[in-house]
Amino acid sequence: MRVGLFGGTFDPPHLGHLVTAVNVRYVLKLDLVVLMVANDPWQKHGTRDVASASDRLAMVQAAIAGVDGLIAGDDEITRGGPSYTADTLAALHERYHGAELFTIVGDDAAAKFGSWQRANEIAKLSTLVVVDRPGSPLMPPCEFNWHRVEVPRLEVSSSDLRARFIDGRPLEYLVPDQVMQVIAARNLYGSNS
Ligand code: ATP
């Protein structure tokens, strides 16, 4: 079995995440891509408030409902504490009985890979996959082997979407309708104020 791990804060999930997941799955012939919701994204500490893990998981579940080969992962939430990819890969390896694992990241995340906890272990446990995001291409650290996959580049980020909520700019088509429904039902990002 070939399983992709696509981890993120997903605050909120958007079309960039989904288009990346389905295209990497197609190109690398993965059986599954797990959109793993970070419990405590320690790399974002001190930068801003993050929506609760259960709200972010509910949004990811809504985003991928009915999409073949994509699942929402709650392992990091269940484990609690800071989210470390090496631990998550070990859990997936056990669950999927020795599956071949792929760690999927955008080039912004890949550029910081050297600062990830236990980066060498992640590189040993999985094939590292990088996709480009709009803007100047960022180079991943060259001491690791990267597999580059072309996906449509969509100029969308969770930060921009949160700013759109604050300013009242349109979010339609950038965030799936099912996710918008979760946001409204849970009153996230000041959606009902
Ligand atoms: P923020 O703007 O809050 O930093 P984000 O949009 O980068 O959030 P994350 O949840 O932090 O979203 O990202 C999870 C993963 O998805 C990262 O590897 C990131 O590089 C990748 N990613 C995010 N947006 C895109 C996009 N538009 N295209 C491709 N990959 C993306």
Q: Is the CB of 159 under 6 A from ligand 1?
A: yes
Q: Is 46 helix (H, G, I), strand (E, B) or coil?
A: coil
Q: With CA atoms as reference, report the closest residue to 171 among 50, 9, 13, 65.
A: 13
| β-bridge mates for residue 106, sequence order | 131
Which of 11, 157, 166, 173 is the pocket-test mutation for ligand 1 (most atoms within 8 Å of CB)? Answer: 157
Whether ligand 1 lies within 6 angstroms of the CB of 154 is answered as yes
- Going along the chain from its start, the domains and CATH numbers come out as 2-156 (3.40.50.620)
- What is the rounded distance in angstroms from the CA atom of residue 60 to the CA atom of residue 139? 28
Structure tokens at 51: 């929506």
Share of the chain above pLDDT 90, in %: 88
81 SS3 class: coil
Per the structure block, which two tokens stand in for 94?
Answer: 């056990």
Whether residue 122 is predicted with pLDDT greater than 80 in this model: the reply is yes
**Pairing between β-strand 32-37 and β-strand 146-148 as defined by DSSP bridges:** unpaired
Phi then psi dihedrals of residue 54, to 5 deg: -70, -35
Is residue 193 very low, low, confident or very high in pLDDT (cuts 50, 70, 90)?
A: low
| 192: confidence class by pLDDT, cuts 50, 70, 90 | low
Q: Average pLDDT, whole number, for the chain?
A: 94
Q: Which two tokens stand for residue 150?
A: 């072309």
* C-alpha pair distances (Å), 110 with each of 43, 48, 128, 138, 145: 13, 21, 9, 8, 11
Mean pLDDT (whole number) for 153-179: 95
How far, in Å, CA of 74 to CA of 191, rounded?
Answer: 25
